[in-house]
């Protein structure tokens, strides 16, 4: 986080992030709506567009907008890398204490920006939009509902629309979130598992006015694979044996039951060498050994490579050396020690019956 000095102007209060891929027809109207919504707030802001390898002239249009408005910044990718890398590039460069993201297709309404900001300032760390009434074909909405239901059940984060690109974050929240692969869908999940408060806000969803949708059915298949990755890097990142151990226990239990059943038959004189259950039982037992072995190797790697800084999130601290007394100039020219506000001690007077008021002694270990 940047440090503001007397010689450097303070950064903007609000940052808007817009990933762009071949949306040249929408950009002028989108910029105008963003400009009007943000100007009405009466607060400092910046708009950061990320051109994700557009080939329709979107990059040139964005450069023209940035040349005309010093509050607009543009990042150009050499080729199409995807939405997650685009958000990651923007998150590394934003300076606003509140960061909002929305898509460039005009289906998100910038007029709702004040409502997102109000929810953040009321205490939320992340606010995710919910397109309750969507203007999309059934072939797009039906798979989306199924995907969102699965993510809710698996992650425990109760949002109705994980795919909505209209979101708002506190700056410290995005500083702790890694966005790569297809993880942009699961930023609320990652934030929730780090202890940040996640809320949702019903947003107005408008019909697409220009261009074509980037939607594909394979996106949901990729999303399920990304969800498994999210589970591994959050719940099981520091305890891989818990994940692979469950798989090994399930596989081994079935394998042992099958082999036990076949053993009983063998003692009863029945041939078992030709039975497919024998092969299945042996394979399941061997798979169990392999799962547990992978989990143990993962545990060893975790113990030798992981940094403790990466597995928790600190809200605040108190009583550390940074709160120690500060040196201020005295009238004699030599520095005088002044306690920091959090380090000041207060004497509490307690009146007793048989004597004058006396200060309350500090507890043992704090004197």
One domain, residues 46 and 178 = yes
DSSP bridge pairs for 359: 349
One domain, residues 211 and 280 = no
Indicate the pLDDT class of residue 91, thresholds 50, 70 and 90.
very high
How many structural domains does the chain have? 2
Asked if residue 348 belongs to a domain, the reply is no
Six-digit token pair at 139?
């072939």
Output 310 or 348, whichever has higher pLDDT.
310
Output 181 or 160, whichever has higher pLDDT.
160
- pLDDT confidence of residue 2: 43
One domain, residues 86 and 142 = yes
CB neighbours of 31 closer than 8 A, spacing ≥ 6?
47, 65, 69, 72
How many other CB atoms are there within 10 angstroms of residue 224's CB atom? 13
| Average pLDDT of the chain to the nearest whole number | 79
φ and ψ at residue 25, rounded to 5 degrees:
-75, -20
One domain, residues 229 and 285 = no
- From 306, 339, 356, give the residue that closes a domain: 306
Is 80 exceeded by the pLDDT of residue 211? no
One domain, residues 170 and 261 = no
Indicate the pLDDT class of residue 234, thresholds 50, 70 and 90.
low
One domain, residues 155 and 110 = yes
Asked if residue 354 belongs to a domain, the reply is no
Pairing of strands 355-359, 349-352: antiparallel
Is 90 exceeded by the pLDDT of residue 356? no
Q: Sort 316 into a burial class: Cβ within 10 Å, 0-12 / 13-18 / 19+.
A: exposed
Six-digit token pair at 316?
């605040």
Indicate the pLDDT class of residue 102, thresholds 50, 70 and 90.
very high
| CATH code, domain with 186 | 3.90.550.10
One domain, residues 251 and 161 = no
**What confidence tens digit (pLDDT) does each residue in 8-66 have?**
457 899 999 999 999 999 999 999 999 999 999 999 999 999 999 999 999 999 999 99
Q: Which of 216, 179, 220, 212 is nearest to 107 (CA)?
A: 212
- pLDDT confidence of residue 340: 44
Among 36-40, 144-148, 345-349, top mean pLDDT goes to 36-40
One domain, residues 276 and 149 = no
* Structural domain for 53, as ranges: 14-234
One domain, residues 137 and 254 = no
- pLDDT confidence of residue 224: 67
Among 132-141, 153-162, 317-326, 337-346, top mean pLDDT goes to 153-162
Six-digit token pair at 212?
């074509």
Give the C-alpha separation, 40 to 20, whole Å: 24
One domain, residues 46 and 163 = yes
The three-class DSSP label of residue 337 is strand
């Amino acid at each position: 986080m940047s440090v503001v000095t007397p010689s450097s102007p303070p950064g903007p209060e609000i940052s808007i992030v817009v990933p762009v891929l071949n949306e040249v027809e929408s950009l002028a109207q989108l910029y105008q709506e963003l400009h009007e919504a943000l100007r009405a707030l009466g607060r400092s802001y910046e708009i950061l567009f990320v051109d994700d390898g557009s080939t329709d002239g979107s990059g040139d249009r964005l450069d023209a907008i940035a040349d005309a408005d010093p509050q607009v910044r543009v990042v150009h990718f050499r080729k199409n890398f995807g939405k997650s890398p685009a958000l990651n590039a923007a998150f590394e460069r934003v300076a606003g204490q509140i960061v909002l993201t929305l898509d460039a297709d005009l289906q998100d309404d910038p007029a709702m920006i004040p409502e997102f900001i109000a929810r953040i300032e009321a205490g939320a760390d992340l606010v995710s939009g919910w397109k309750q009434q969507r203007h999309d074909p059934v072939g797009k909405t039906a798979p989306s509902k199924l995907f969102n239901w699965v993510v809710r059940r698996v992650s425990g984060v109760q949002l109705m629309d994980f795919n909505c690109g209209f979101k708002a974050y506190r700056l410290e929240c995005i500083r702790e979130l890694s966005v790569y692969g297809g993880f942009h869908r699961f930023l609320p999940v990652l934030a929730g598992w780090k202890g940040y408060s996640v809320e949702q806000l019903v947003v107005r969803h408008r019909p697409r006015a220009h261009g074509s949708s980037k939607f594909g059915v394979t996106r949901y298949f990729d999303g399920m694979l990304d969800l498994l990755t999210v589970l591994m890097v959050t719940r099981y990142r520091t305890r891989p044996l818990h994940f692979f151990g469950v798989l090994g226990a399930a596989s081994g239990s079935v394998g042992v039951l099958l082999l036990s059943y076949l053993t009983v038959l063998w003692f009863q004189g029945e041939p078992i060498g030709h039975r497919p259950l024998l092969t299945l039982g042996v394979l399941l037992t061997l798979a169990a050994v392999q799962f547990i072995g992978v989990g143990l190797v993962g545990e060893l790697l975790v113990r030798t490579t992981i940094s403790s800084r990466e597995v928790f999130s600190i809200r605040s601290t108190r009583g550390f050396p940074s709160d120690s007394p500060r040196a201020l100039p005295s009238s004699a020219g030599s520095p005088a020690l002044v306690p920091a506000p959090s380090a000041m001690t207060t004497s509490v007077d307690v009146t007793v019956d048989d004597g004058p008021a006396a200060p309350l002694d500090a507890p043992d270990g704090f004197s």
